[in-house]
Amino acid sequence: MAKKDAEPTDSAEEKPFEEEYTDIKDLPGVGATIASKLKSAGYVDMIALATANPMDVIEVCEIGEPTAKKIIAEAREAAKMNFLSGLEFEEKRKAVQRISTGSNALDILLGGGVESQAITECYGEFGSGKSQIAFQLTVNVQLPKEKGGLDGHAIWIDTEGTFRPARIEQLAKVKGIDPKEVLQNIKVGRAYSSDHQILLVDKIPDLINKDPKIKLVVVDSMMSLFRAEYVGRGTLADRQQKLNVILHNLQRLADRFNIAIYITNQVMARPDMMFGDPTAPVGGHIIGHVATYRIYLRKGKKGLRVARLVDSPSLPEGEATFQIGTDGITDVEEEGTAKKTK
């Protein structure tokens, strides 16, 4: 894929490896008025517009067919909806960056930390540490690269009202970075419904456009609103469809902006399971299909936490033990090594 010069960044390697994000209003033949009509109809970004049906665009924008077709063609060109060669694909993979979790053992389990261009899902029972990992990543992403960070900023989509500025400040102090500055570098969006959650995700390209240092998006938690709103089997298909859209949007953001996505998920009891751990992540198979890394978190002995890597495309399954304390996520002395089980 052809590289264009994008926003100025402090080092060459930080340049986005893909195209600069262009707002649909900048497309030839669009402009502010049509763009605002398109956006309010859900065509919020280039790919949404590129895959639009011309008849819908005609109706939404009250424009003629040739104009609608031209706009869609321009969007397709801008969205670069073409194939990558194997070599280009390899180039893109080279741009992958990792954020340290704070535990060496957990980082090793994940192949070096939480990856950009990927969705990492963490599921486990209440109090298992899913949100604590999110807090730690939100602070750690702001560290310099030599300290396990990306010198980056973060977005936090909070669906349960669990974002705690005080905890962020505490973790920032432990890392020796300015707590207020760390908070300043986090954009928090509180979602009140699943539709609101979808809208907040749609706003992310705008936020990154304004702040290209954003390198991490947290969704804590992914399913709670969907789960609360869609009770009963009758509406399950509708829920899964929406979930599918939001997850694919997140994956697209990860790819396009080379950012890491960390989502948390709850578990439900599986009464059908007689042996082993009778819990499963909420959301059915959809999250499992989209998430690149799935971590199952459980409480271990003496307040420790055990993370198990489930279904990873390229890493062996295994477990890592770490601890959560006032200082955040850290290794367990002596035992802090990842054990491969396969």
Question: Binders of ligand GTP among 144-203, rule CB under 6 A?
Answer: 167
Q: Which single residue is written with the structure tokens 């955040």? A: 328
Which amino acid, 300?
G
* Using rule CB under 6 A, residue 281 touches ligand GTP: no
| Strands 339-340 and 318-325, bridge-based pairing | antiparallel
Cα–Cα distance for residue pair 217/262, rounded to 1 Å: 6
* Closer Cβ to ligand GTP, 15 or 298, answer by number: 298
What count of residues does the chain have?
A: 342
Which amino acid, 109?
L
Q: At what angle do helices 194-210 and 236-257 cross, to 10 degrees?
A: 10
Cis peptide before 193 (omega within 30 of 0): no
The CB-of-115 to ligand GTP minimum distance in angstroms stands at 21
* Closer Cβ to ligand GTP, 45 or 319, answer by number: 319
* Using rule CB under 6 A, residue 324 touches ligand GTP: yes
Site string for ligand GTP, 77-116 (x = CB under 6 A): ----------------------------------------
* Using rule CB under 5 A, residue 224 touches Mg ion: no
Among 28, 31, 66, 127, binds ligand GTP (CB under 6 A): 127
215 binds, among Mg ion, ligand GTP, none (CB under 5 to 8 A by kind): none
Query: Is residue 128 within 8 Å of 299, Cβ to Cβ?
Result: yes
As given in the structure block, the two tokens for residue 125 are 């029972």
Among the listed ranges 78-86, 122-130, 140-148, 275-283, the one in contact with ligand GTP (CB under 6 A) is 122-130
* Closer Cβ to Mg ion, 109 or 219, answer by number: 219
Phi, psi for residue 311 in degrees, rounded to 5: 55, 50
Question: Binders of ligand GTP among 201-220, rule CB under 6 A?
Answer: none
Which strand (E) or helix (H) includes residue 279?
A: strand 279-281
CA distance to 113, 125, 149, 226, 247, per residue, from 280 (Å)? 24, 10, 31, 16, 19
Among the listed ranges 14-22, 193-201, 273-281, 319-327, the one in contact with ligand GTP (CB under 6 A) is 319-327
Phi, psi for residue 203 in degrees, rounded to 5: -80, -15
Among the listed ranges 4-12, 51-59, 89-97, 322-330, the one in contact with ligand GTP (CB under 6 A) is 322-330
Query: Is residue 258 within 8 Å of 95, Cβ to Cβ?
Result: yes
* Using rule CB under 5 A, residue 116 touches Mg ion: no
Question: Binders of Mg ion among 124-183, rule CB under 5 A?
Answer: 131
Cα–Cα distance for residue pair 21/10, rounded to 1 Å: 18
CA distance to 13, 23, 54, 63, 108, per residue, from 29 (Å)? 34, 13, 14, 11, 50
The CB-of-134 to ligand GTP minimum distance in angstroms stands at 7
* Using rule CB under 6 A, residue 326 touches ligand GTP: yes
The CB-of-37 to ligand GTP minimum distance in angstroms stands at 40
Question: Binders of ligand GTP among 233-272, rule CB under 6 A?
Answer: 266
The CB-of-131 to Mg ion minimum distance in angstroms stands at 3
Residues near ligand GTP (CB under 6 A): 124, 126-132, 167, 266, 324-326
Q: Contact residues for Mg ion (CB under 5 A)? A: 131
